[in-house]
Chains A and B, each alone.
Chain A
Amino acid sequence: MRKVAIVGIGHTVFGNLSEFDLVDVMSFASANALEDAGILKDRKIIDQLFVANMGGGIINHQTGIASALVSRIDLEPAMAELVENGPASGASAIKCGFAAIASGMVDTVMVTGGELMRTVTGWKGTDFVATLLHPEVEYNYGLTLPAFAGIFTRMYMERYGLTERDLALVAVKDHENGARNPYAHVQIPVTVEAIHEGENAHVINNYVAEPVRLYGTCPVSDGAASLILCAMDSPKMKYFTKKEPVLISGIGSATDTHCVHHRKDPLDLKAVHLGAERAYKMAGLKPEDMSFAELHDAFVILELAISEEVGFFQKGKAQEAVREGVTRIDGRLPINTSGGLKAKGHPVGATGVSQVYELVKQLRGEAEEGRQVKNPKHGLAVNFGGFGNNVVATICSKEA
């Protein structure tokens, strides 16, 4: 299998970009990646574009997005396809790009993920994301993603002694990182006193789906991120001299039952566990080799649960690591250095690409002051689709 490197990265700010259309936003990130890779003029060397998006057809009334983007950024006649895997669309698109290069089908791929969610009401936004649930036995009974997060969090609390204060600590840590990330949707640090202990906390940090509170949930965001991938053995690598390439050393995914109630134990996120295991195996690495990680914290409980499933902590022990500061930027294993979905935002189709963007930025040593991990070698990203039914794990490494 050919080695695949990431040779260019691009990102828009996450937040309210509703004055632009979806393809505009994606083209901003794509152009940014072309510039980062140093091939803005030579962009026609891109063989294939994979676009990640979940809701264009539903909330933006736009389909054929890959065809629109390839034309908007003047990449024709490159091949172009859309990849949709719910909130894990971004990492799935990376996986498709990786496979296309590794198999020898193409040499260079652009992967761009984007979503425009703030043009609709919160109701409509929640409704659109909930279309990934089972339409008859889940959504019909009022289950949405925040509702699942509430149930999951309650079960976790009862079994492992997790407290609302622990959840607030995760949010504080994520916002601290997000405040230093110029692309984050919410660039404001928050304090545990204000969102958990203070007299006004019940309103400032109100319940969204008890026991999940506002600061236990990601914001609804617009935004896009983009990557350029190239085969390390390709003659086209000569174009990419501007930055050090970062290797995709492992990538794996796995699925679980569509309906959460079909799982023997809803707290077991088997697809996360298996997806990460496959990525570790491909990379020849172990959890303890990871220098940092970007984990899909659409709800902060997921940061804790995923960090256990990928082997960083024993089951039910992640909150202890948070209390001890292990996952802070200066801790032993920094998690969500970008601010995570919690502070950086979660434009669903963009998220998986944005997570890997962060891995590359950290591995290049380009993160902003105060959120750069010391001498990172390997980073793990987990992009969580459905309520854990289709998950992709990606490991990036500094080239040895």
Chain B
Amino acid sequence: MIIDEMEKKLRPPEMGLKPYPPKVITLASGELMVVREAKREEVGVLLETIHPLMGVPKDFYDIVAARMFAEILGWYRYRVANEFVLVGAIDGVIAGIVNSRCVDEKVGMSLHTIAIKRGLRAGAQLFAAKMEHHLENIGEEQVYIVAESPIGFKRWMIEYELENWEDRYPQVSHELGGVPTYVLTRKLYDAVRDQKVTGTRPVDPAVLATADKLKAPDEYAQIPGFKRGK
């Protein structure tokens, strides 16, 4: 059918990514956050989780949420190449989401990190997991990274001491906004890995099972008095 052929053209080529092995992180509160790859059939609950934050201008949650919403929808409807989504869940409730994509076998393109749960560095742990997936699991050599918020800039550019590739702009730029990119190289990653990446594997099956069915949070620290509509 003509529509099938057109749809085929609209879909990007796929590399076929290695799966991300789940892990569990004990947060400072003592809560267990399971970090695992999100499945395509979980896109509904992911979007449900992200959607309320599109109205939060503070800390640029609005831009990050709107872009991530579109990227995850794009992943679901086959409009983004080689994208993966990792989710952090505490007792099944989504604490944070990260997404990213592979440009090719050597280069990763970090998309977004959104922390729902604040104050426990859940976002920092999920970002680290995303880098772990790119550099250790998929085996890429570098990841392009930009930040939309000052918090992101402090967490990634400064804490990871990322390379600033401004001098290669515009030949090398990041897909998010076409801006100059920062880069996490393997050398930089190796230098900070032990201070940034953690998690226990294999995950106890009973703990892993708590994240079988993801739930959208009922509370957002970013939205006082939030009530989820039915």
Find B158's partner among A122, A189, A190 (CB 8 Å cutoff). Answer: A122
A215 interfacial contact with B, CB 8 Å:
yes
CB of A141 within 8 Å of the partner chain: no
Q: Give the docked Cα–Cα distance between A187 and B154 (Å).
A: 22
Query: For residues 63 through 115 of chain B, which have their beta carbon under 8 Å from a beta carbon of chain A?
Result: none
Residues of B within 8 A of A203 (CB): 125, 128, 194-198
Number of cross-chain contacts by CB at 8 Å: 62
Decide: B28 and A204 in contact? CB cutoff 8 A. Answer: yes
Known: A191-B30, A193-B26. A204 touches B198 (CB 8 A): yes
B30 close to A193 (CB less than 8 A): yes
> Which residue in chain A gives the minimum CB-CB distance to B198?
A203
Query: Which residues of chain A have C-beta atoms less than 8 A from B7's C-beta?
Result: none
The answer, yes or no, to whether B179 is at the interface (CB within 8 Å) is: no
A131 at the interface (CB under 8 A from B): no
Q: How far is the CA of A215 from the CA of B30 in the complex (A)?
A: 14
Q: Are B154 and A200 in contact (CB under 8 A)?
A: no
> In the complex, what residue of chain B is closest to A204 when comparing beta carbons?
B28
Q: Roughly how many angstroms separate A191 CA and B29 CA in the complex, as a whole number?
A: 6
Q: How far is the CB of B138 from chain A (nearest CB, A)?
A: 21
Closest B residue to A206 using CB positions: B195
Please report the C-alpha to C-alpha distance between residue A119 and residue B195 in the assembled complex, in whole angstroms. 25
A188 part of interface (Cβ distance < 8 Å): yes
Does B58 make an interface contact (CB < 8 A)? yes
Prevailing SS type, chain B contact patch: mixed
In residues 125-151 of chain B, which contact A (Cβ within 8 Å)?
125, 128, 150
Instruction: Flag whether B119 is at the interface (Cβ < 8 A).
Output: yes
Q: Which residue of A lies closest to B25 (CB)?
A: A200
A257 shortest CB reach to chain B, Å = 33
Determine the residue in chain B with the shortest Cβ distance to A19.
B58
> Per-position contact with B for A195-208: 1 when CB-CB < 8 Å, else 0?
10011111111110
Once the chains bind, are B199 and A194 in contact (CB under 8 Å)?
no
Q: How far is the CA of A193 from the CA of B29 in the complex (A)?
A: 9
**CB-CB < 8 A to A205: which residues of B?**
28
**A121→B154 contact, CB < 8 A:** yes
Count of chain B residues near A, Cβ 8 A: 24
What is the CB-to-nearest-CB distance from B24 to chain A, in angstroms, rounded to a whole number? 9
Give the residues in chain B near A188, CB-CB below 8 Å. Answer: 28-29, 119-120
**Is B58 touching A200 in the complex (CB atoms < 8 A)?**
no
A202 to B194, CA, bound (A): 8
A216 to chain B, nearest CB (A): 12
B197 touches A16 (CB 8 A): no
B26-A204 in contact (CB<8A): yes
B26 contacts A198, C-beta separation under 8 Å: yes
> Which single member of B30, B119, B154, B199 contacts A186 (CB below 8 Å)?
B119
Cα distance A188–B121 when bound, in Å? 12
Q: Is the CB of A187 within 8 A of B119?
A: yes
Task: List residues 42-61 of chain B with CB under 8 A from any CB of chain A.
Answer: 58-59
Cβ of A18 within 8 Å of any chain B Cβ, yes or no, is: yes
Q: Is the CB of B30 within 8 A of A194?
A: yes
- Interface residue B200 (Cβ < 8 Å from any Cβ of A): yes
Q: Tell me the A5-60 residues at the B interface (CB within 8 Å).
A: 16, 18-19
Partner of B199, one of A18, A195, A200: A200
Interface presence of B223 (CB below 8 A): no
Contact status of A123 and B26, CB under 8 A, knowing A200-B200, A204-B198: no
Binding site for A on B (CB under 8 A): 25-30, 58-59, 119-121, 125, 128, 150, 153-154, 158, 194-200
> Using a CB–CB distance below 8 Å, which chain A residues touch chain B?
16, 18-19, 119, 121-123, 186-191, 193-195, 198-207, 215
Listed A/B pairs (18) with beta-carbon separation below 8 Å: A119-B150, A121-B153, A122-B154, A122-B158, A186-B119, A188-B120, A189-B29, A190-B28, A191-B30, A198-B26, A199-B200, A200-B26, A200-B198, A200-B199, A201-B26, A203-B128, A203-B196, A204-B26
